[in-house]
C-alpha cells in the first residue's frame, strides 16, 4: 500500500502554530495505528531561508512543484503581506493542483491563497473570525461562513484560526481512516476527539465568571454510558448543576444542547463500530444506546445522510481505494 502524500506550502513569516499542526497530525510516524502512515512534505513557496513568525528556520528540499504530486495540499496561515499579495507562483501551484484533482486544504488565513487561486469561487469557506470583513470584501464570490470551525466541500476544505486547524486535520484523518484512528490520534495529542465543523468559533462571554469546573468530567461520564438511556436530569445530577445551568454551559462551551451532543456521540460510536467490526446493526444499536436497529437507522441517517450498512460499505470501499494509484498518475 502506498503512502498518502500531504504537501504543506511554507511561506515566509507564517505563524508557527498553524505550520506545526499538520506536522503533528500527518508528519509523525504513527504506523502502529495505520501502516503505511502519511508522507509529509514541506514545500518552500519562495527562496530560503524561510522563517516562521517566531523565528523558526525551515530547511526543506521540496518546492512548489511537489504540491502537484501530492494527494492533499495544505496551505496554512500566512503573514499579512502574503495574504494581501500572495506569491504568483504559489497561487498558480494551488490552482494547478486543484485542476489535477488534488484535495486542497487551508488553515486559518491560508484561505486567502485559495481564494486568490479561484479555488473557493462559489464554495463555502471560512477563516479566522477577525478576518471576516476583510476577506468578504476582497473575495465576494466566496460563500463565506464567518462563524464555523471548518468547512468541507469535498475536495476543498477550510478552517478557522488556531485551534480549528487541529479540528480540521483530525476531520481529514476521520475521512481517510475512520473515527477510531482519528480518536486515537486525538488521545495522543490530548485534544478533544471531535468538534463539529458547524460549531461556533467563539462563545459569547459570560456576564459573570463561573466558579465550577468545565464540562469535561460530565462529558466523560456520559461517554462511558452511551449504551444506557440518559436524560437531561441525569446529566445535571452527574454535573451537580441545575438543568438550566447545564443547558447554558453546553450552549456556551459546545454550541449545542446536552441531548443533541449525546446523539452526536452515539452516532460517532456507531461509525467507529461499523468501521472496525462486523457486528450486526442490531447489536451496534444496543451498544450505542439506540436500542433498536430502526432507531439507529433513523438517527444515523439524519446525521450522516446514509444508512449504517451503506456507511460501512462506503467506508470500506474508500479504504480500498486508498491503496490504489495516486490521482493523475
Asked if pLDDT for residue 324 goes beyond 70, the answer is: no
Range(s) within the chain of domains with CATH label 1.10.10.60: 206-329
DSSP 247: H
In this predicted structure, which of 89-103, 131-145, 204-218 has the lowest mean pLDDT?
204-218
Work out the angle at residue 45's Cα, subtended by the Cα atoms of residues 39 and 47, and round it to the nearest 5 degrees. 120
Give dist(CA 112, CA 118) in Å, integer: 10
In this predicted structure, which of 67-81, 108-122, 258-272 has the lowest mean pLDDT?
258-272
Residue 122 confidence class, pLDDT cut points 50, 70, 90? very high
Q: Which class does domain 206-329 fall in?
A: mainly alpha
Residue 118 confidence class, pLDDT cut points 50, 70, 90? very high
Asked if pLDDT for residue 113 goes beyond 50, the answer is: yes
Asked if pLDDT for residue 120 goes beyond 60, the answer is: yes
Asked if pLDDT for residue 28 goes beyond 90, the answer is: yes
Range(s) within the chain of domains with CATH label 3.40.50.880: 5-189
pLDDT digits (tens, 9 = 90+) for 39-67: 999 999 988 789 899 899 999 999 999 99
Q: How confident is the model at residue 201, as a pLDDT?
A: 55
CATH architecture, range 5-189: 3-Layer(aba) Sandwich (3.40)
Contacts of 227 (CB under 8 A, 6+ apart): 286, 287, 288, 289
Give dist(CA 287, CA 284) in Å, integer: 5
Mean pLDDT rounded to a whole number for the chain: 87
Amino acid at each position: 500500500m502506498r503512502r498518502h502524500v500531504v504537501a504543506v506550502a511554507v511561506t515566509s513569516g507564517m505563524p508557527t502554530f498553524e505550520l506545526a499542526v499538520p506536522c503533528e497530525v500527518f508528519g509523525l510516524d504513527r504506523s502502529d495505528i495505520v501502516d503505511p502512515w502519511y508522507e509529509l512534505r514541506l514545500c518552500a513557496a519562495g527562496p530560503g531561508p524561510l522563517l516562521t513568525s517566531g523565528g523558526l528556520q525551515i530547511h526543506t528540499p521540496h518546492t512548489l512543484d511537489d504540491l502537484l504530486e501530492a494527494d492533499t495540499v495544505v496551505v496554512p496561515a500566512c503573514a499579512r503581506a502574503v495574504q494581501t499579495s500572495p506569491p504568483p507562483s504559489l497561487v498558480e501551484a494551488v490552482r494547478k493542483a486543484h485542476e489535477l484533482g488534488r484535495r486542497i486544504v487551508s488553515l486559518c488565513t491560508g484561505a486567502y491563497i485559495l481564494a486568490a487561486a479561484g479555488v473557493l469561487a462559489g464554495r463555502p469557506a471560512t477563516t479566522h473570525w477577525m478576518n471576516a470583513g476583510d476577506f468578504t470584501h476582497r473575495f465576494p464570490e466566496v460563500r463565506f461562513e464567518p462563524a464555523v470551525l471548518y468547512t468541507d466541500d469535498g475536495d476543498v476544505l477550510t478552517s478557522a484560526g488556531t485551534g480549528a486547524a487541529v479540528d480540521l486535520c483530525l476531520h481529514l484523518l476521520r475521512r481517510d481512516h475512520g473515527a477510531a484512528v482519528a480518536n486515537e490520534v486525538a488521545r495522543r495529542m490530548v485534544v478533544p476527539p471531535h468538534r463539529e465543523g458547524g460549531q461556533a468559533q467563539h462563545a459569547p462571554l459570560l456576564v459573570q465568571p463561573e466558579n465550577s469546573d468545565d464540562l469535561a468530567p460530565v462529558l466523560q461520564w456520559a461517554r462511558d454510558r452511551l449504551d444506557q438511556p440518559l436524560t437531561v436530569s441525569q446529566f445535571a445530577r452527574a454535573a451537580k448543576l441545575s438543568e438550566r445551568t447545564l443547558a447554558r454551559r453546553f450552549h456556551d462551551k459546545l454550541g449545542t444542547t446536552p441531548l443533541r451532543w449525546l446523539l452526536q456521540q452515539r452516532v460517532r460510536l456507531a461509525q467507529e463500530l461499523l468501521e472496525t467490526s462486523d457486528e450486526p446493526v442490531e447489536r451496534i444499536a444496543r451498544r450505542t444506546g439506540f436500542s433498536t436497529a430502526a432507531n439507529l437507522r433513523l438517527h444515523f441517517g439524519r446525521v450522516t445522510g446514509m444508512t449504517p450498512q451503506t456507511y460501512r460499505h462506503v467506508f470500506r470501499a474508500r479504504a480500498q481505494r486508498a491503496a490504489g494509484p495516486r490521482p493523475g498518475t
